[in-house]
Structure 1
């Protein structure tokens, strides 16, 4: 039975934090410190204080920090000046509260930011950013909750650009796993300075931390949205992954001439049929091939025997001996395949590997940095 049920049935529990003596004037409780059941009316603020006190006493978890600071202050004041209420008063307040709740059909968020939160994912990021900018919206609620949901790349750039002191506060308010990852990605000297500054944050007042959070949330919220989810390296790599080998090699050669660093990064982002032995664990080969049509696999392996025989040997060597022999026999029976068909078959296997990687079922071996 909930606190509201208890109050509505007029069964008062001492667990709500008020002594039974407070309901019995004969025990020495003065009427001057009680709110009588009649006939003095209660203000809405007093009623709110009663409801909050009852719910907290019953163990309810309330997000009162989302209220404006002025309302939180007023609530504290009301609770501090109220002393005791009798059962009839409590029941009347609860009845009124329940009645108002039951009459509510649908609740809408308060303000532009609340509306944007509800519509998150249903409207474009560009529209949301434009509405915030035009309305001059200040984020409500806990700004650090908003910051924690931001792209880690955006947080990393903030840690690199902001002062050491601000960066230390930001790092301290993030989840430990996220903070550790971001700290590890900072340049060594910068990481050491920020880590030391964290040790100096113990005396910062809560209101200062909140102001820093609001400032960062406003600042990060007004940054223009990205037109693309992935960076240029990932986008070019994905395009070249799906391109014929002759096109891929030609483009990479051109990139080497124009921008060697970018070309090197793109090469690392590319995963082709030829990369399978160096980036796939042998134990993952059965996962990759089980959902691939065997005729398609045979076509890819036949095409690979001419220039990519190590790849063919790697794939067949990671299979069971019986299955590998069966596939070799089928390859022998099929003979040569058209270059176009072979390229398409190898691309299909690469696409399967990428899909399994995206689902987290396999992991690609990281490419080691060249000296």
Structure 2
């Protein structure tokens, strides 16, 4: 039906360039064009951060023209054909679509919940809480339990939770995270009991890989710059070699200069212009030239004009904008769309 309707569209109708929209905006438009019940069914299967971002985009959507909606529908139909010609309700379609969208590791948990009918339990339920709530829940637990919780959650949420603790506790937990390698199923079972939830594990499950140097570096990347600097200094004072290993794996805004031109272009498609301008306010000339060099001539001129017209802004605003762009870059790297390199020159994600 949707294809027939699109085929009947007037030939003279102006086609909207869907490439102008980022992933969140396309998702928001698609959901807004569905019924409330259908949109709710989709939203309930997303991760907390995804729900928050898509919800904000939906609430702020103003330009909802038929051309834009049709363009999003056409793209959706084109992409959906890649996964299944049998039907939208097949388990195979769900697995392929989620794996393509989120990557194999992140999709695995959602596939289990959707296909096997499991809801958010135990540690997964913490993903829906804000940082202060989670910090209060684990504050009086053993540091090893706190370490497992922080390693299990997404790096940005873990960074927010860590900010609720004192500097001494942050240092201890970050050192533990960096030295953690795997957690046995029995330990996860015990932790879920502590959370007063049931854990839907399988007998004979393998030890879960979590923690480690990359996990520590990812969490550090999401921290406020001031907190990050103090914590890194403390880590170096405690274990200089470990601190250097974490530093080598961290990806900071300046490292965007090492991303190839295609990668920069992919990242820029997902970044709002006002965020980019604030971030570039604190960038050095080389990085600024690289980013502007990967825009169209007109767009680069507009960005330069906006930068010149912008007055002084707080350093915290610049850092927040840079962190937002880095979060987008990491997400794209997780999806295999760009390649990021850490300070040590090795693959980061």
TM over 0.5: no
Q: TM-score, normalised by structure 1?
A: 0.37
Q: Max radius of gyration: which structure?
A: 1
TM-score of the pair, normalised by structure 2: 0.39
